[in-house]
Amino acid sequence: MGMRERIIAILVNNKPGVLSRVAGVFGRLGYNIESLCVAETISPEVSRITSITNADSDFIDKVKKQLNRLVDVLDVTELVPGQSAQREMILIGINLDQKGRTEIVRSIGLFDCKIISMRNDYCIIQVAGSREEVETVINFLKPFGIDKIARTGVLALRYKDSVS
């Protein structure tokens, strides 16, 4: 039992409507999708969906079985923290004044991030890393006045040797 973040990787046929079938399963079981990443894999006819849901342990079994009923779902695996690499990327837009601008340029090097656009009054910063790293940067930048934020949601891959 116990609610926590559960990461699920779903391999599906890369076809129209498949995502809505997958999302429908979560919805019908009453689960909210906290984050979702979808893109094609090395074979373009297959897509990988990575999703996060806050749920108890029943969730994995239920959602796996229901997802596996879908014809276009090829595989469903839970990705457990210690046994998989997990990364997230975000873009953060910040409104700047002169002072903030200097400070950001000076301190941003402390973190693993990049300024990808810089204008007099606005910049966009790219951050990539683990959930914690990304959160740390967001917290650091909050006082500067974050205007907008876009997150990929977590991507994860299982380490090669770990057994599921």
Summarize as ranges the residues that interact with another protein (CB under 8 A). 11, 13, 16-17, 20-21, 24, 28, 61-62, 65-66, 68-75
Token couple for 3: 């609610």
Q: Which two tokens stand for residue 163?
A: 């057994």
Query: Residue 71 or 150: which CB sits closer to another protein?
Result: 71
DSSP letter at 109?
Answer: G
Q: Which CB sits closer to another protein, 79 or 92?
A: 79
> Minimum distance between the CB of residue 52 and another protein, rounded to whole angstroms?
21
Q: What CA–CA distance (Å, rounded) separates 46 from 81?
A: 24
> 10 Å Cβ neighbour count for 156?
22
The residue among 73 and 104 lying less far from another protein, judged by its C-beta, is 73
- State in angstroms the smallest separation of the CB of 71 from another protein: 4
Least separation in angstroms between CB 6 and another protein: 18
Sequence length of the chain is 164
Nearer to another protein, 10 or 113 (CB): 10
Radius of gyration for the chain, computed over Cα atoms and rounded to the nearest angstrom? 19
